[in-house]
Amino acid sequence: MLCLRTRLFNIPFRIWLPELETSYALTTTDGTPYVSLPTDCFIVRAIWDSDNDVILRWITPEDYYSRTGRANSGAKSTPREYTRLGTKLYLYPTPDATYNETCYYKKYPSGLSQDNDVTEIGREWDVPIIKLATIISLYKLKEYDFAEIEKKNFQEDIMGLVNAFAQEQRQMDKHLQPNSMYLQRGVV
């Protein structure tokens, strides 16, 4: 919910929750064009074919539909591309053998419906989540003045957390940028 509502609250960063990043082992079946995804899969980040040590290339569902030979059992080969359709991951070409694949994905956090349920994200997010629920409730109750006050408090809290957690992402982005020496020489 935090990620979906960031535009409403003018937060200039994506909220990255590393606790929700995970992986799942998949096994293809000879002649079956798809594998089932885990039920908690929200966003597929990458598919790695561990047998051939390659990352499969994502294609759009439209590209998958346009591929010929999907139904032809003679057109089977090592999968090189994938697309997600609902709860299934469709592979192209259709696997000609059993392959071991790893699906790296962002998962849905588990629901908190029982007294003994625990959150999967850090405790530091508890207060902002409660404040966000309060703000949404105040808007629904048409208590706009109180909602705006809570919104300002929420923005301050969330920006502190985002800055703390985004430091790792910023460091990685900085590390992957071209060296300024190459830029000055016109190499890049």
What would the pLDDT profile of 118-153 be if each residue is shown by its tens digit?
Answer: 777 777 777 888 888 888 899 899 999 998 888 888
Do 81 and 147 sit in the same domain of this protein? no
Residues, the chain: 188
Of 107, 138, 157, which closes a domain? 107
- Given a cut of 50, the residues of the chain with pLDDT beneath it are 1-6, 187-188
**Within a domain: 12:** no
Residue 48 DSSP SS3: strand
Determine the Cα–Cα distance for residues 93 and 111; give it in Å rounded to an integer.
Answer: 37
The confidence score (pLDDT) of residue 115 equals 75
Domain for residue 184, yes or no?
A: no
Q: Are residues 47 and 27 in the same domain?
A: yes
Q: How many domains does the chain have?
A: 2
Asked if residue 71 belongs to a domain, the reply is yes
- Domain check: are 93 and 28 in the same one? yes
Domain match, 97 and 157 both: no
How many degrees, rounded to 5, is the angle at CA 137 between CA 133 and CA 141? Answer: 175
pTM of the model: 0.64
Residues 103 and 25 grouped into a single domain? yes
Residue 173 pLDDT: 61
Note whether 100 and 124 are same-domain residues.
no
Q: Is residue 13 part of a domain?
A: no
CA distance to 57, 119, 128, 162, 166, per residue, from 159 (Å): 35, 21, 10, 5, 10
Is 97 in the same domain as 59? yes
Residues 38 and 88 in one domain: yes
**Nearby residues of 2 by Cβ (< 8 Å), 6 or more positions away:** 15, 125, 128, 129, 132, 158
Amino acid identity, position 26? L
Supply the range of the domain harboring residue 41: 20-107
Is 126 a domain residue? yes
Cα-based angle 22, 163, 4 (whole degrees, multiple of 5): 55
In this prediction, residue 188 carries a pLDDT of 47
